[in-house]
Structure 1
Amino acid sequence: MDNSLMRCAMRFTQGVRRLLTLVCLTVVATTAQASSVWKVSSGDNVLYLGGTVHVLRQQDYPLPVEFDRAYLRADRLVFETDLAQLRTTDVQQRMQRAIRYGDGSDLSQRISAGLYQRLATIWQQYGLPVEALNGLRPSGIVITLTMLNLKQIGVDAQGIDDYYHSRAVKEGKPVSGLETVDQQIGFLATMGEGDEETFMRMSLDELDEAATFVDDILAAWRQGDLDGLEHLIVEDMRRESPAQYQTLLVGRNQHWMPQIKAMLRDRPVEFVLVGSGHLAGDEGLIKQLQLAGYQVERLQ
């Protein structure tokens, strides 16, 4: 897997139909009175919270105008993690190690023979040598197949995170992350661990649904449709992968909330950009900020 795919895959947001959702929240529809950017206020202090798409299609540009409005009003941008550090050789090497078993074992020892044969067949259909499966963890396999699948359906352009990170660096705006790259590497290493059979079976099933699922998620994202995002992302993950739901969504939201609250106690204006699935549902950031007493309104 090349470095650009690994960087994209590391910016986890939510589940795959599980992994498709992690790497590919993109859109086709548009409405005049909706967006995926919110203004959060505490007295005179303000920050902007944007739901992002980690990979886009060329036709999805230009981005909704609300993103630029929040960017121009912000003094600092905050991403899920340090995107510049993800590009370093050291982190890339650690990520490559994280998607492989370190004890010489193999996924074939953890899933049924029939499922492994199905996996090998699909792997080869994408033009990959079956020998390349040796030693790969479920995360490495599923991320590779998902990214190749997305490229086939035209989802291969720069995502919102990379777009605004590059722009901020070029224009001299400070940037930071809500979690360390080590934390994200940890998420990568443990995806599907302990239930490899279910994780791999569902992931392979979902590859066939990619094009339709992308269109559905895309429309919900551009419209800032939290109910739609919850239905498409959160409900499925909560039902089918409760452990991953707690780790990748709930736990991370809980970790980010104190940091977001601290931003609302200082004067600089932040623009916080996280995967759209983190905003939806009762345990999403929008609801949690409302429950904490902050004023939350959609940016127009």
Structure 2
Amino acid sequence: MRKILILIFISGLSFTAFSQKNIYKITGNGISKPSYLFGTFHILCKEDFSMSRSFLDKISETEQLALELDMDDPQLMMKTYKGMVMQGDSTMKMLLSPEKYQFVAKTMKDSMQINLRSVEKVKPYMVYAMVMPKLLTCDVLSIENELVKVFSNQKKETVGLEEVADQLAVFDLIPYKDQANELAEGLEDLPLARKELRESVELYKLGNYEEILKLSSKKEGVMVKYESELLTNRNKNWIPKIIKMASEKPTFFAVGAGHLVGNEGLISLLKQKGYEVELIKQFAD
């Protein structure tokens, strides 16, 4: 489970961490004004969060914010709840053996104050996203929400690169039973899960996206088959939208850090289309 939770956090779900180390400027191919691209990691303590002056200056140069999802959508919460539910009559109790079910229920209640009965119909990998913030002994925040506030205060629009239904439908491709068993396996060693999560967050704060991806690529279990659904295919779907948005107006793109790097990451795909993607390093102030 630990490898998949890292992959999920860098591919885009609910809680988002913050690094100002790696921000990329997109130019070329007829773009009149630069757009910017930076990666998020989906969990961070509040005390680790800040926006530098130079970071805010780059935001002020753009005219809209593009996230994975349109956080301004008034129907977002309802759509998210709908997309988190398993299809058919599947429940967590049906997916796990009685022994594993009791273990998961007890661990989640004792260690995380989460009642398993309340998420019986939720896709198990979505339960990961609920569990992981509990591994950090701090208050967490969503940088996506913070960015939306900044752009809203500047009277600028927020848009999305994909629909909630499309994002969460990825987890219908992965057998629910496999998801549930990986959840149970991951809960068996919480101290190690906490350690690896902290290591991943520290790598992210250093701007070392490649190392995070390497950590997640030490693949285990069912995720060997589904990494392309979580990252690669979504990247390819986003590229035409990113190009169109950047061509129409300067845009600040903020997506999971795992989408940026690698041979089929957004940076590489944009360069293949003839765009210049330049790393900007002055954001550590």
Classify the TM-score, shorter chain. 0.7 to 0.9
- What RMSD over aligned residues (CA atoms) do the two structures have, in Å? 3.1
- Residues 155 and 252 (structure 1), Cα distance of their counterparts in 2 relative to 1, 3 Å cut: farther
**Aligned-residue offset at 1:56:** 2.8
1:42 aligns with 2:28: yes
- What are the residue-to-residue correspondences of 1:64-143 with 2, within 5 Å? 64-85=52-73, 88=74, 90-101=75-86, 103-125=88-110, 126-129=112-115, 131-143=117-129
- Residues 59 and 79 (structure 1), Cα distance of their counterparts in 2 relative to 1, 3 Å cut: same
Show structure 1 runs of 5+ residues with no match.
Answer: 1-13
Contact 1:25/1:217, CA 8 A, preserved across alignment: no
Aligned to 1:178: 161
- Residues 42 and 142 (structure 1), Cα distance of their counterparts in 2 relative to 1, 3 Å cut: same
Hey, what's the Cα distance between the residues in 2 that align with 1:259 and 1:123? Answer: 39
**Aligned-residue offset at 1:113:** 3.3
| Deviations 1:60-84 (CA, angstroms, capped at 9, x unpaired) | 2323555323212112211111102
- What are the residue-to-residue correspondences of 1:125-274 with 2, within 5 Å? 125=110, 126-129=112-115, 131-150=117-136, 153-157=137-141, 159-187=142-170, 193=176, 195-205=178-188, 207-233=190-216, 235-236=217-218, 241-266=223-248, 268-274=249-255
Hey, what's the Cα distance between the residues in 2 that align with 1:270 and 1:133? Answer: 37
Moved over 6 A (4+): none
**Aligned-residue offset at 1:17:** 2.9
Contact 1:41/1:294, CA 8 A, preserved across alignment: yes
Identity %: 21
Aligned to 1:295: 276
Hey, what's the Cα distance between the residues in 2 that align with 1:191 and 1:297? Answer: 36
For 2:95, give the aligned amino acid.
R
- Residues 226 and 287 (structure 1), Cα distance of their counterparts in 2 relative to 1, 3 Å cut: farther
**Aligned-residue offset at 1:231:** 1.5
Aligned to 1:3: none
Hey, what's the Cα distance between the residues in 2 that align with 1:274 and 1:294? Answer: 18
1:281 aligns with 2:262: yes
Show structure 2 runs of 5+ residues with no match.
Answer: none
- The TM-score, its normalising length taken from structure 1, stands at 0.77
Contact 1:253/1:284, CA 8 A, preserved across alignment: yes
- The TM-score, its normalising length taken from structure 2, stands at 0.80
**Aligned-residue offset at 1:179:** 0.8
**Aligned-residue offset at 1:194:** 5.3
Hey, what's the Cα distance between the residues in 2 that align with 1:292 and 1:119? Answer: 47
Contact 1:26/1:217, CA 8 A, preserved across alignment: no
**Aligned-residue offset at 1:51:** 0.8
Contact 1:78/1:271, CA 8 A, preserved across alignment: yes
- Residues 169 and 129 (structure 1), Cα distance of their counterparts in 2 relative to 1, 3 Å cut: closer
- Residues 20 and 227 (structure 1), Cα distance of their counterparts in 2 relative to 1, 3 Å cut: closer
**Aligned-residue offset at 1:279:** 0.9
Which is worse superposed, 41-50 or 132-141?
A: 132-141
For 2:236, give the aligned amino acid.
Q
**Aligned-residue offset at 1:37:** 0.7
For 2:205, give the aligned amino acid.
R
